[in-house]
């Protein structure tokens, strides 16, 4: 499988969602075969199909005061937060070119996060029965996907910057009493997002298409 890479920078969640859908239709037509979108979002709380409002711990008024928007989305999973201190990847992958297996894909997304963190010197782990990547009992990376005609959208978010953890206190992430952590907190030093983007793209290639020599970038 081969994928084309798109760097959308810092983008509104709702804008990214409509762009993802455009990318989905292009992949469905086979051009490109698959796409990988890398971006960060302005502060937003998203609620998946299995999400419940009770896991939002503050009023919508307070969200407005904090300049955090709210969005209900057609992905699996419960409630989560996206912000500028995270690296988000939306693989629009045609699983017909890879393997028609949703859990295989989810586990490989976790593998991307594990390899990425390992490259930074952070040893993350999976926890039995849970999705995502964890440091001890704190979560550092989240996954949630939607699949249509065996083409995936939504994806993977890795917490990078420590100044973006505060907004997780507005929710019960994934409907659980889970504490979030980030790469900066684990390392005790600041990280540059632009350098990390390239590393994340490389990890996607290593995990999903190690035999491909060419990585198309746009």
Partner 1 sequence: MAKVVLPELGEKIEKAVVSFWYFKEGDRVKEKDDLVELATDKATFNLPSPCSGILLEITVSEGDTAKIGDILAVIQEE
**Catalytic residue numbers?**
174
What string of DSSP letters covers 5-38?
A: EEEEEEE-HHHHHHHHHHHHHHHHTTSSS-EEEE
The H or E element spanning position 63 is helix 60-65
Interaction between residue 50 and partner 1 (CB under 8 A): yes
* Residue 143 interacting with partner 1 (CB under 8 A): yes
In the complex, least distance from residue 104 CB atom to partner 1, rounded to whole angstroms: 6
Pairing of strands 138-148, 151-159: antiparallel
Choice from 75, 139, 161, 197 touching partner 1 (CB under 8 A): 75
Q: By CB under 8 A, how many residues form the interface with partner 1?
A: 22
Q: Where are the beta strands (DSSP E) in 109-215?
A: 133-135, 138-148, 151-159, 179-180
E strand or H helix at 41: strand 35-41
74 binds partner 1 (CB under 8 A): yes
- 146 counts as binding partner 1 under rule CB under 8 A: yes
Among 56-64, 71-79, 161-169, 209-217, which window interacts with partner 1 (CB under 8 A)? 71-79
Asked if 20 is part of the footprint of partner 1 (rule: CB under 8 A), the reply reads no
Query: Pairing state of beta strands 179-180 and 151-159?
Result: unpaired
Do the Cβ atoms of 81 and 45 come closer than 8 Å? yes
Residue from 11, 97, 147, 215 in contact with partner 1 (CB under 8 A): 147
Looking at the Cβ atoms of 108 and 162, the one nearer to partner 1 is: 108
CB proximity list for 208: less than 8 A, separation 6 or greater: 1, 3, 91, 93, 98, 108, 112
Residue 85 touches partner 1, criterion: CB under 8 A: no
Among 43, 77, 83, 85, binds partner 1 (CB under 8 A): 77
Which residues are at the interface with partner 1 (CB under 8 A)? 48-50, 74-77, 100-106, 131, 143-149
């Amino acid at each position: 499988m081969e994928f084309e890479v798109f760097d959308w920078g810092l983008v509104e969640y709702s804008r990214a969602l409509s762009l993802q859908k455009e990318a989905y239709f292009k992949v469905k037509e086979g051009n490109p075969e698959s796409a990988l979108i890398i971006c960060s979002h302005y502060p937003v709380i998203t609620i998946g199909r299995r999400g419940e409002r009770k896991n939002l711990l503050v009023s919508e008024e307070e969200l407005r005061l904090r300049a955090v928007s709210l969005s209900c989305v057609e992905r699996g999973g419960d409630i989560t937060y996206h912000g500028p201190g995270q690296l988000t990847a939306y693989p629009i992958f045609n699983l017909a070119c890879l393997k028609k297996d949703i859990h295989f894909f989810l586990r490989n997304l976790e593998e991307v996060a594990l390899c990425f963190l390992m490259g930074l010197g952070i040893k993350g782990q999976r926890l039995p029965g849970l999705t995502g990547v964890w440091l001890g009992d704190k979560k550092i990376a989240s996954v949630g996907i939607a699949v249509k005609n065996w083409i995936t959208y939504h994806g993977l978010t890795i917490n990078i910057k420590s100044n973006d953890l505060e907004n997780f206190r507005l929710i019960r992430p994934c409907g659980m009493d889970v504490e979030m952590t980030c790469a900066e907190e684990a390392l005790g030093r600041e990280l540059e997002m632009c350098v990390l983007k390239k590393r994340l793209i490389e990890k996607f290639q290593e995990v999903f298409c190690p035999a491909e020599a060419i990585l198309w970038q746009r």
